[in-house]
Structure 1
Amino acid sequence: MKHVIAATIALKGLGGLLFIFSSTFGAFLQLLYLAFITPIVYDFYNFDIERAEFVQLFIKFTQNLALFGSLLFFLGMKNAIPKRQQKKKVPKTKTG
């Protein structure tokens, strides 16, 4: 169990650090982390609607879904912007 916790901490830490530097790999690591951890940690579906825990867990769950969506948006926009192409230098003709 210690290895699983250490792996999730490393996954989130490395993904966050790479994401700061606008890396798509970091965004994919964050997506992977959120996809596995969110339904496990915030299991609001096991609580009754009237309980206070349900509301708190549901809010955290929807916040993580919003983060997941924003990471998908980041990846979509990152892939939609064309890469900067180098301009070909045209040799100048000599007149004379």
Structure 2
Amino acid sequence: MGFVSFLGRLLFASLFILSAWQMFNDFGTDGGPAAKELAPKIVFVQRFLASMIGDKMPKIDVKHVVLGSMVLKGVGGILFIFGSTTGAHLLVYNLLLMTPLLHDFYHYEMDDPKFHTRLSEFVECLALLGALLYFIGMKSVLPRKLMKKRPIKTKTI
């Protein structure tokens, strides 16, 4: 069972690790295609935060967001392969931060073909998030169950 569990974690984490590797190869001087896609969305988030906080809001650099996502995916994926809940937490943080930015189906009308594509990608990320939360939950419950088992006492005659 241990090998099957390791293989499952390896296949699951390969999604994140290969994505981080592709982002790393495409990064270049401008942040790559990920930065080009995120740039208008980061500007929107920055305007929203500036309206809430004020003009003292520091500028959010898109390259730093892409770099942060790349690090969270890479390090989190590698740690997750070895069964670490820290790696699962890093992947959860990445999904929570990047999913609403990348898959913004809520900005499109239902008639638009992009709506259905973005919605299906959003739901896919929610499924990945659910799997990671399940992993974290099972990791926290398993040691408690093992501690509750008491050794059987032998009877003396």
* Short-chain TM bin: 0.7 to 0.9
Q: Between the two proteins, what is the percent identity of the paired residues?
A: 42
1:8-63 Cα distance to aligned partner (Å, 9 max, x none): 11111110111111100000000000000000110000001011100000000000
1:67 aligns with 2:100: no
- DSSP-derived class of the 1:81 partner: helix
1:40 aligns with 2:98: no
User: Structure 1 stretches of 5 or more lacking a match?
Assistant: 86-96
| Alignment-derived partner of residue 11 in structure 1 | 72
| Alignment-derived partner of residue 26 in structure 1 | 87
1:55 aligns with 2:116: yes
Q: Take 2:79 and 2:129, find their aligned partners in 1: how far apart are those partners?
A: 16
Structure of greater Rg: 1
Given residue 72 of structure 1, which amino acid in structure 2 is its aligned partner?
Answer: L
Q: Take 2:68 and 2:97, find their aligned partners in 1: how far apart are those partners?
A: 12
| Alignment-derived partner of residue 88 in structure 1 | none
TM-score, normalised relative to structure 1: 0.83
**Alignment length, in residue pairs?**
85
Moved over 3 A (4+): none
Give the C-alpha shift of residue 79 in structure 1.
Answer: 0.7
TM-score, normalised relative to structure 2: 0.52
